Amino acid sequence: MTTTSQKWTVETRTAASTVFAVIAAVAVIAAFAAPLFVSRSMLQDLFFILTMLMLAQNWNLLAGYAGLVSVGQQAFVGAGAYAMFAVVILGGLDPVLALPVAGIFAAALAIPTAFFVFRLDGAYFAIGTWVIAEVFGLLFAQWKALGGGTGTSLPRDATRDMFGVPFVKELFDTKSSAAADIVTYWLALVLALATVGFIYWLLRSKQGIGLASVRDNLQAARSVGVNASRLKLVVYVATAFGTGLLGALIYIQTARISPDAAFSVTDWTAYVIFIVVIGGIGTLEGPFVGVLVFFILQNLFADYGSWYLLILGLIGIVVMLFAPRGLWGLFTDKTGIQLFPIRRRLAGGPLVAHSREDTHG
């Protein structure tokens, strides 16, 4: 090969993404400062939005990027939450320290789970993950020390004395429960940044482009050396980690667990799928849009009980039929704007076409 010493470079940024990066940086700073100037109820709404966003980003990575359409992510929410309760109640650990334990526990469970579900494809995979989640739920329902099918509550002192709470209580001069809200909110914010950052980093890394190639054409990807099954396994375990950790965080705030709640397919997977699909699957931006839509719908209609759910169902159907790439998909199709660009553009060197005679001299 002729190696001319042209300076080839690769770019991923776009004008929109640069502007967005600046706005995002400001937003992140504002978000960290939020406890200073927003009401507690707003803070809790933000916590809800952040946790749903993270669940959605995790599921999106799994289904949208790795093609693993799981309807059993509640398995990891529940496992993480139960792990947290176990180490806090039975082990006396601080709930904040329990978070990584919960993530690791969920990831560890994901490995034997993968043994079963990775034998399955498509719809079979989806149902398989669902069954596994049911099995987890039933097994945790046998854990008598944590209340079996009854469930149990986090001792009040556990969150009251949680890492950071006394400090924040002093700082903001509020009651413990409000201070705990601030701490969990900050944790959620840090985790959300980490999650989005990790996924964005992954997608821009070598592994990310490998995933994209697998999604486009499995045979061809394997033929150029991409180890598709390992990549998928890594993503599966990584999302299990993230989902389990989140499960623990969510249940620090809820403070009460029962198998039915922690392994609820509706709360932890169906709504999440709804969010991702409404927003736009296979994009980092989609879950942001989806979670906002979901939040607004919930605030507007949740008090209408069954009508609310009915409307949610109808919206899901309509979006899937008429905008299968979600609201963000509609938007990018019109504008071409991407906030998290992952395209690698070749630049530098003489990008003019070389005729073969030139190269071969």
Partner 1 sequence: MIWIDTIIQGILLGGLYALFAAGLSLVFGIMRLVNLAHGDLIVLGAFLILVLVTALGLNPFLATLVAIPLMFALGWGLQLVILNRTLGDDILPPLLVTFGLSIVIQNGLLEGFSADSQRISAGALETASIPLGPVTVGVMPLLTFLSALAVIVALNQLFYRTSLGRAFRATSDDPVTAGLMGIEPNRIFAVATGIAFVVVTIAALYLGTRANFDPTIGPARLIYAFEAVIIGGLGSLWGTLAGGIIIGVAQTVGAAINPEWQILAGHVAFLVVLAVRPRGLFPKGL
Partner 2 sequence: QNSKIKLGYVSPQTGPLAGFAEADNYIVSSFLQTTKDMGLDFDVIVKDSQSNPNRAAEVARELIVDDEVNLVMVASTPETTNPVATTCEGEEVPCLSTVAPWQPWFIGQQGNPGDPASWKPFDYAYHFFWGLEDVIAVFTNMWGQLETNKQVGGLFPNDGDGNAWGDPNVGFPPVLDKLGYGLTDPGRYQNLTDDFSAQINAFKAANAEIITGVMIPPDFTTFWTQAKQQGFTPKIASIGKALLFPSAVETVGDQGHNLSSEVWWSPSHPFKSSLTGASAKEFADDFTSVTGRPWTQPIGFVHALFEVAVDVMKRVSNPADGDAVAEAIGATKLDTLVGPLEWGTGALPPFAAKNVAKTPLVGGQWRLRNGGGYDLVIVDNQTAPNIPTGGKMEPIA
Partner 3 sequence: MPILSLSDVSKSFGALQVARAISFDLEKGEALGIIGPNGAGKSTLFNLITGNLQVDAGRIHFEGRDITRVPAEKRCLMGFGRSFQIPQPFEKLTVFENLVVAGAFGSNLPENQVTGLCAEILVECGLIDRANDPAGSLTLLQRKRLELARSLATSPKVLLLDEIAGGLTEAECHALVETIRAIHARGVSIIWIEHVLHALNSVVSRLLVLDFGKVIGLGEPGEIMASREVREIYLGIEI
Which residue bears the tokens 């395209």?
A: 343
218 is a contact residue toward partner 1 (CB under 8 A): no
- Asked if 14 interacts with partner 3 (CB under 8 A), we say no
Q: Which does 359 bind (CB under 5 to 8 A by kind): partner 2, partner 1, partner 3, none?
A: partner 3
Binding flag, residue 220, partner 1 (CB under 8 A): no
Residue 9's binding partner out of partner 1, partner 2, partner 3, none, with CB under 5 to 8 Å set by partner kind:
partner 3
Q: How far is residue 208's CA from residue 205's CA, in Å, rounded to a whole number?
A: 5
Residue 360 makes contact with partner 3 by CB under 8 A: yes
Say whether residue 12 binds partner 3 (CB under 8 A). Answer: no
Phi, psi dihedral angles at 256 (to 5 degrees):
-135, 135
Tokens of 162: 């949680």
Task: State in angstroms the smallest separation of the CB of 210 from partner 1.
Answer: 21
Q: What is the 3-state secondary structure (H, E, C) of 292-306?
A: HHHHHHHHHHHHHCH
Bridge partners of residue 347, in order along the sequence: 9
Q: Which of 321, 334, 355, 356 binds partner 1 (CB under 8 A)?
A: 321
For 178-192, the DSSP string reads HHHHHHHHHHHHHHH
Nearer to partner 3, 160 or 222 (CB): 222
- As given in the structure block, the two tokens for residue 259 are 């198998």
Q: Which two tokens stand for residue 2?
A: 């002729």
Smallest distance, partner 3 to C-beta of residue 165, A: 43
Instruction: For partner 2, give the closer residue by CB, 90 or 190.
Output: 90
Q: Which of residues 107-146 bind partner 1 (CB under 8 A)?
A: 115-116, 119-120, 122-124, 126-128, 130-132, 134-135, 138-139, 142
Place of tokens 């398989």: 128
144: how many CB neighbours lie within 10 A of its CB? Answer: 9
Question: Among 16, 222, 265, 270, which residue sits at the site for partner 3 (rule: CB under 8 A)?
Answer: 222
Q: How many whole angstroms separate alpha carbon 258 and alpha carbon 274?
A: 24
Tokens of 255: 């403070």
**If binding is defined by CB under 8 A, does position 277 make contact with partner 1?**
yes
Strand partners, 9: 347
Of partner 1, partner 3, partner 2, none, which one does residue 150 interact with (CB within 5 to 8 Å by kind)? partner 2
Nearest to 243 by CA among 119, 90, 129, 128: 129
267 touches, from partner 1, partner 2, partner 3, none (C-beta below 5 to 8 Å by class): partner 2
CB closer to partner 3, 321 vs 353: 353
From 18, 142, 150, 205, residue interacting with partner 3 (rule: CB under 8 A): 205
What is the DSSP secondary structure assignment for residue 214, as one 8-state letter?
H
Label residue 77 exposed, middle or buried (CB < 10 Å: 0-12, 13-18, 19+).
buried
Burial class (CB in 10 A: 0-12, 13-18, 19+), 32: middle
Q: What is the CA radius of gyration of the chain?
A: 23
Q: Does 306 bind partner 3 (CB under 8 A)?
A: no
- Binding residues for partner 1 restricted to 64-83, rule: CB under 8 A: 69, 71
Please, what is the minimum distance in Å from the beta carbon of residue 149 to partner 1? 10
Tokens of 249: 């965080």
- What the block records as the tokens of 274 is 């709804």
Percentages helix, strand, coil for the chain (3-state, rounded to 5) are 75, 5, 20
Report if residue 281 touches partner 1, rule: CB under 8 A.
yes
> What value, to the nearest 5°, has the Cα angle with vertex 98 and ends 93 and 102?
140
Work out which of 197, 313, 324, 349 binds partner 3, going by CB under 8 A: 349
Q: Does 272 bind partner 1 (CB under 8 A)?
A: no
Among 13, 156, 175, 343, binds partner 3 (CB under 8 A): 343
Contact region with partner 1 (CB under 8 A), list: 87-95, 209-217, 304-312, 331-339: 304-312
By a kind-dependent CB cut-off of 5 to 8 A, residue 338 interacts, out of partner 1, partner 3, partner 2, none, with none
Site residues (vs partner 3, CB under 8 A): 1-4, 6, 8-10, 205-206, 209-210, 212-213, 215-217, 219-228, 343-346, 349, 351-356, 359-360
